[in-house]
Amino acid sequence: MANFPFAYLVGVDGGGTSCRARICDIAGNVIGEAKTGSANILLGGEIAMASIQQAIALATQQAQLTPADYPKMTIGLALAGAEQQQAWHAFMQQPHPYGAITLNTDAYGACLGAWGGQDGAILIAGTGSCGILLQDGKQHVVGGREFPISDQGSGAIMGLRLIQQVLLSVDGIVPTTELAQHVLSHFEHDIDAIVSWSKTARPCDYGQFSPAIFSFAAQNDSLAVSLLQQTAADIEMWMQALIVRGASRICLMGGIGERIQTWLTPPMQQRLATPQGDAMDGAIAMARGNHNLFVR
């Protein structure tokens, strides 16, 4: 690439549970990759930066490079929490040893990866949820304002609704199902334990029940089926919002998004597209230019 001042492209995909770093040469060949802890900048910019630097250091070792090569690296950061302007600025003010960094959201990175760096729309439904449309140099975002006030269609919200329904079943207000019994067994049938757990439970703690919901739905458990129907309706709500903003096809991504597709209505299923790549591919694409969400 003519006049490109860097020798290495580094992509970082960071969320609430993990941070992945990938180092490529200018041709895009992967030469190193590593994974560390949380890099959601809303949980602390310094914590996120430490995870990022650790992941890049491990990937650097794997690529048989050294810290002396850091100034030759341009870093594309696709991080959860980057949509919060104050957190974005606080993170970007931190010192770093790299040649350049550019910061946008994990959803932005996932959208770039899904559409091969071109315009397009995605809906991520994992532990959290967020929709994004990239069109004519602008990004349109729906949802993604974090649990519990947003994130409809996610594993966390589905898990929260599950716990609410289980407690209603304990009070005899709704029928008890095998899924409800499964959850009660998880807490050793101790309602106080559920209440205590809820005081500190994180999105991933609620999301841990998602596999059981899908499993019991396959056995026609009425509670599991109703939860998946509600989650599918939420996902269609986000999809419709993206369509109104100009999306024609949408890539549905994330652990819930990949499993919920058969629960969508046929017209919405026809709107789905297959992702070309993932957030790591998008983060590498970000490393090639300025993809900052805000102006420094």
Q: What is the 3-state secondary structure (H, E, C) of 227-249?
A: HHHHHHHHHHHHHHHHHHCCCCC
Q: At what angle do helices 210-218 and 155-170 cross, to 10 degrees?
A: 70
What's the mean pLDDT in 272-290? 95
Q: Please name the helix (run of DSSP H) or strand (run of DSSP E) that holds residue 291, with its range, or none.
A: none
Q: What are phi and psi of 20, to 5 degrees?
A: -110, 140
136-174 pLDDT, tens digit per residue, is 989 999 998 889 999 999 999 999 999 999 999 999 999
pTM for this model (two decimals): 0.87
Do domains 8-116+277-287 and 155-273 share one topology? The answer is: yes
User: What distance lies between CA 160 and its chain's CA centroid?
Assistant: 18
Residue 137: predicted pLDDT: 87
For residue 134, pLDDT beyond 60: yes
Task: Look at strands 30-36 and 19-25 and give their pairing.
Answer: antiparallel
Residue 17: predicted pLDDT: 75
Query: Domain map of the chain by residue range?
Result: 8-116+277-287, 155-273
DSSP 293: S
173-201 pLDDT, tens digit per residue, is 999 999 999 999 999 999 999 999 999 99
Place of tokens 């420094």: 296
Mean pLDDT across the chain: 95
For residue 60, pLDDT beyond 90: yes
Sign of CA dihedral 271, 275, 276, 281: positive
Instruction: Name the architecture of domain 155-273.
Output: 2-Layer Sandwich (3.30)
Residue 273: predicted pLDDT: 98
88-130 pLDDT, tens digit per residue, is 999 999 999 999 999 999 999 999 999 998 999 999 999 889 9
Per-residue confidence at 2, pLDDT binned at 50, 70, 90?
low
Residue 8: predicted pLDDT: 98
DSSP states of 262-281 = GGS-HHHHTTEE--SS-HHH
Tokens standing for 88? 């974005």
Q: What CATH number labels 8-116+277-287?
A: 3.30.420.40
- In contact, 58 and 31? CB cutoff 8 Å: no
19-34 pLDDT, tens digit per residue, is 999 999 999 999 999 9
Per-residue confidence at 40, pLDDT binned at 50, 70, 90?
confident
DSSP states of 125-180 = ESSSEEEEEEETTEEEEEE---TTTS-TTSHHHHHHHHHHHHHHHHTTSS---HHH
